Structure 1
């Protein structure tokens, strides 16, 4: 008698609350310290070191974006360590301890630049290092009986991230004003310590997938093999076929194909987006901070972004995208991403006109910033949520990690560029807003032109996992943009 299919289990595995609790506390801790970082650097740490206000503002912005570049670089290291050597559980636990030490240094060395910067470096290592591991480990906890709950899990993850960001943006700036840097940086540190304890407390329940060790057919090994055998007819990567299977070579081609679309253009969006924690905060500090009798802190306006994300994603996915499809102009991923760049540019143009008005003597209320925040958040949803999913579908299974690395590199490159531009203090005042908006508009046109020639290749599994545990051969669908 044939065995019946495994019954579906509609309950989350009991270890999932440990991972969700860890994520909620960790995200609060990160956004809590990140969102006050620019104002702390300008108003506290650099106050005596850099007397000139304009230079101090420029240096504060540069340091913040240098830190963010590290946050988006170290996932490459953390993911590599988890996959090859330590496994996800040990990588998360050990780097969380590093993360906690970094928070502690921020709270202790509020008046010591060397100690404070060391703390920032450790947070970049810890936060960045665990970034690719937590969500992946959550996915590891599911099996055939409850795999249908994975999408719900990641929806909870996304809301948890924005939930933590929302409350951190509201409350931590008030702590900085009323209690000073030690408390303002100390509370996020306490939350990170709690996050680590919660994660450790679930250690006996986790499904732990061991590290895979070295991959003989990794992206870099395929590329090196192709370079050694260059000169053969056909695609230059075809020279690697003697040492690597067809799937690995085609996967490497997919990485270059996606990189050609992402790397030249996506960084220009992140140049805009991450300045909401620097340039927009500095602008807010020059505005009337009183809203209906409540005095806002400049860093607090960042709460608008996660709030809007939670509201606008259902609106776009449930209403706008279906309506555009029925109207005969479907908002495909290759249309959404350039459009996201346009929205980002428009948000900076709006903020630039606000700056022009203030430079002319007009006093604007901080509530005016809600308008560019709405436009920027629309751009984020069109670019970020779309781009990450699109990149994931465009490479076969064994190259998906490399594609995620490409996506993270776009953010690293963006923050490095902004850090350099801020350090050089090339643009100030309203000019910087229009400069970045102009670059984003040029990038949007370029991306749209490249996207028109891009042939979408969606990689998927053609059948369920085989009984032996080996994955079935991937299938590919190809269609023009």
Structure 2
């Protein structure tokens, strides 16, 4: 054997030994090869998916949301009594609009609060960015609460002044709510880096998938947890309403809201601020219109297929528009759900007023909804969702479907409870109104029996509302997060419009039929939603992948625009 042949043989043996040594290291220490690498398709299906760590800037945004929701729910919880009753009624009120008038005005407030996010999302994505938009509308918010507080002071107001102040206040507060709501949830999700799923090796040696989709899911559950911690303010404001006066119930949210401004100021250099798009909303509508005009064929808007048109966007932008259309189509059935949810804020309060309260305010039971959500969000995050994912992917469309089912269940329970109230004396199907001596005497039903209705609504929120927020964010282009979120919130406005149309049925003895009709409607809407969109579950990973592509594309920018981006992020 020649010397060169011997050298080649030795070199081959060295390579085999080196390879065996590497394989041994990988076997004994999986992090050598697995840590940080892209998982295979089989690993994506078989390994456990976990969340990344949540950065401190998310917590700062969460404080803003907590303070805003504390104020919103704290001041709106007494609204039904404030509008429906007079100072001589029990529970006491101010405006004396009766249940129909109060329910209609309550739905108008909800409608207005969820129409204005369109304006807030458009301003943020086109001109100011999310941070500045939130800050400006927070200042407007404080002005609205101050007007509500001043015009509710008994010593300086009358019924006419109180009504005028109330209407002005809810218009200003609704406008401010829209500017904040459309931007604060996208801002908290913006704090999470857009990365591909990677293998992570735990200290125990277990290999897991560090999945950004799970991170976003957990962030929105955490975000919703903050909403409901804030909404526990209803306990304080309803007690203040009952024992001190409406002015005290409105003064507390006014003072607490300044915490939101403080969190915005303290975190101004911590937040990740996505640069404002270049008239991206206008371009999106133009792109979608071209596709619509060509028989829903979005290829007609692709520059690669139509180079002669000189479109001011690229093919990836068209893919983003398609993804946004997917999201918007999913939102179509939500108005039915929001009508059901809205019962908790008006008719459930009136229903509680027909039962024996045993010293409790009739509007304090709304706190049960928040308490259930606070308890069950960690349970869903740590136990329910991971358990289900062991057997099958629990995709967004499936979760939303079950949210509709639990909403329908809440209405079934409310209908049965209302029937029970009508079957109980002393006033049966005309509670507190069958005779002068029973004017303020409720039917002999304990108010605690209403609790399961709030429980079912809360579970439906975890499944339908949180998942809807997550879907609106993940399916929207990076430069249009606020606007697409505002379209999701707009569905609540449509639900409120339906509620206004149905408010004429919000009177005794029709309430059993009102709740029954809502139960049937929510059930049918859930079934229709599943039949129309169940195939979206199979496309979800593909659509989510566009998020990473968009992030990478945004990072590859010319030097001139890069300097602008750095300034925007500062």
The 1:310/1:421 distance shift into structure 2, 3 A limit, reads: same
The answer to whether residue 248 in structure 2 is matched with residue 183 in structure 1 is yes
The answer to whether residue 419 in structure 2 is matched with residue 333 in structure 1 is no
Provide the residue aligned with 2:422 in structure 1: 359
Please, what TM-score do these two structures have when normalized by structure 2? 0.70
Of residues 511, 514, 519, the one that matches 1:429 is 511
Provide the residue aligned with 2:166 in structure 1: 116
The answer to whether residue 396 in structure 2 is matched with residue 315 in structure 1 is no
Alignment check: 8 A CA contact 2:99 2:506 kept: no
The unaligned stretches of length 5 or more in structure 1 are 472-481
Shift of 1:213: 4.0
Shift of 1:398: 4.9
The answer to whether residue 410 in structure 2 is matched with residue 347 in structure 1 is yes
The unaligned stretches of length 5 or more in structure 2 are 1-35, 37-51, 153-158, 196-210, 426-443, 558-570
Provide the residue aligned with 1:298 in structure 2: 362
Of residues 495, 512, 525, the one that matches 1:443 is 525
**Quick one: distance in 1 between partners of 2:88 and 2:289?**
46
Provide the residue aligned with 1:258 in structure 2: 327
The 1:94/1:256 distance shift into structure 2, 3 A limit, reads: closer
Alignment check: 8 A CA contact 1:248 1:398 kept: no
Which deviates the most, 121-130 or 109-118? 109-118
Shift of 1:87: 2.7
The 1:45/1:107 distance shift into structure 2, 3 A limit, reads: farther
Of residues 276, 282, 285, the one that matches 2:353 is 285
**Quick one: distance in 2 between partners of 1:34 and 1:108?**
16
Provide the residue aligned with 2:456 in structure 1: 375
The answer to whether residue 509 in structure 2 is matched with residue 459 in structure 1 is no
Alignment check: 8 A CA contact 1:321 1:330 kept: no
Provide the residue aligned with 1:211 in structure 2: 276
Alignment check: 8 A CA contact 1:281 1:299 kept: yes
Is the partner of 2:460 in helix, strand or coil? helix
Alignment check: 8 A CA contact 2:505 2:514 kept: no
Q: Show CA shifts across 1:156-175 (max 9, x none).
A: 54332211112x12110011
Alignment check: 8 A CA contact 2:403 2:462 kept: yes
Alignment check: 8 A CA contact 2:118 2:483 kept: no
Give the number of aligned pairs.
448
Shift of 1:57: 0.4
The answer to whether residue 179 in structure 2 is matched with residue 134 in structure 1 is no
**Quick one: distance in 2 between partners of 1:419 and 1:377?**
23
Note the 1:138-153 alignment, pairs <5 A. Answer: 138=188
RMSD of Structure 2 on Structure 1 (CA): 3.5
**Quick one: distance in 2 between partners of 1:144 and 1:402?**
19
**Quick one: distance in 2 between partners of 1:224 and 1:463?**
24
Is the partner of 2:142 in helix, strand or coil? helix
Please, what TM-score do these two structures have when normalized by structure 1? 0.82
Q: Show CA shifts across 1:432-481 (max 9, x none).
A: 1111111111112211211344452432255796598238xxxxxxxxxx
The 1:330/1:136 distance shift into structure 2, 3 A limit, reads: closer
The 1:401/1:35 distance shift into structure 2, 3 A limit, reads: same
Shift of 1:195: 2.8
**Quick one: distance in 1 between partners of 2:340 and 2:67?**
27
